[in-house]
Structure 1
């Protein structure tokens, strides 16, 4: 009988790895976990959490402006970047301590160092320790990709944007995904001049076209200089700033250029490929429905697998793996209907199919409403909300719901529940509206526009 030091060794202390380690330990497994940076992963340290805090910070500009129409008189408003970053750092440290504490309370052996896979059952730490383990779980997440252009080393990514000493007066953001669009909105709201460049025809590829168009128009109206079918080909130092050259020959001088041009699974130098684990061309790990790789004793969860790169998905993956392997429950992570939010300004929430995806499966009915939210009537804003519902013409099942505007993320989280249960348009129609709310549009749209 082979002697193992651990039943499970987890590489990566992000959302998926921490959840898997903690649940496995609670099931009675002896668990080790190695993390070379900070606990909490991308989401807590340099992603969702600090980003949302900065979204809140930038949204106060709207609140100050809207308040005048409701009778408030406010003095000169100033913003202190240093105070925001300091307070953000304190909150992130608090959350990281909670992650670490939860691991140790659960009985997980924590190793604050890098770990690599030596073979199907062997882990080697950077400090020289070697452990034999029955199972290995890879949960190393992903990292930003920087384009291969001259001067790219002068740029920053979403990793560094949270720790800048000073607020940029001018920034160029390269990319059209949710990270690029979210930071364009954040920095624009805080008073930075934002130039956003995307080589595609429209931002937010993969989302419903109505969301894409609505958000792009609103971003421009708010002052973001959004240029489509444009890319950066060169970055050069220019005094205290940077000169960027575009593919049409145009040049701009900015304080920073941020690349939000995709992410890559963090598998380089990890030893998994050499062990026989099958990888895709982009470095992500191929797994089956049980999160098992091509090597039976090695598993992977979260962003490193190339599945939906969302924190709740990583957490669900990790929990399902632990319950299956050590809880004798046979749990698969559910990924059928996943609600998600884009914290642009205005924010968007989406769940289910896009209109294009739904039309590929059959005939559909489209319900759509755009309107000024109530706060804008006195606040004076011109921004409109969008509500869209996609319904199967055959069985009236709701296939997708897409919202842009204040509270979109909160609304779409709740809508995901009835959609997962197979709700029909009649179920929405039979639900009493809450008035006056924006969400009531979802149960009062009666006539399809298409």
Structure 2
């Protein structure tokens, strides 16, 4: 018996359309996985009696990599979705207070190297809340420099970044949470093993060596939303006797408290809420019947020089930035935490956040996107829902039965 909501799972796959990416939704109160999506997918029936050469070649050689379980094994730089965790790290380690103000002129200098942030004069005076709401790179470049790579590593590790979460699926990958020790163990030549101070800077904005799965990102978001109490993510809830229908609940590991100060967690979660009311995802969550928190992110698929301007039109589609969004809802008693990436889709607010909005609408408001809205989401041309949503509990299930059967809601 799985925790997956199969109707939600299909809705998310439909919202991705032909795009590549992954989404993981977790109940932060229990660690139950509500949705575990990897796109593109494939028909597993092809393998039942042995797949033929033509179909195997099409799946195995496709540039879209449909056989890769992106939710479990796809690794990505987290981009700016990392900033709330960096902010919490600053508070918990005493590196910065929430009131500390940093000047953001649109760049940050480290020696003779210029790290770019916001152009056109930057953001000016930035405290912790504004650094998250407006996504200041300068704030986190300087914070990373102050914390150092090993302090960042030691804070992020218990959150599950670069670690095996222990989900009840085989094949999970670890990703990379860099440290000086990691670099010494990874590279062979002495000059490669050395950690250079300049390598620390980009880690603060979720770039550099950072590389995590959407499972890890959703797991960390769930832990933060739950006040620092961590539950192991899992999909299986019970076993059921196919004859008697008797269910036997499966044991789950005990919750682990990471010991965060409640006032520090509150600062970060309130800043993430402000992202949806005055920040980068405001338009997407306009008119929502609940309060949520989130953080948009854009992660490089290929390296762009600090002096070069990113122009998607000049890049091949597979070289364009990834769109990410992490979120939780509702604010006061979170029931769902999400991490989503849409590969090579650009800005998180345009492509990833609209998917998260509709997941929340489904789970919290029993709403389902109407055909026009769904079509807009699939091609990255939606913000807040278009028109009147449908009632999720009245949608036919299975979908093929729409014309012949009465509405049926399937719940976990």
TM over 0.5: no
Bigger RCO (CA 8 Å, 6+ sep) = 2
Larger radius of gyration: 1
Greater strand percent: which structure? 1
* TM score, norm. by length of structure 2: 0.23
TM-score by length of 1: 0.21
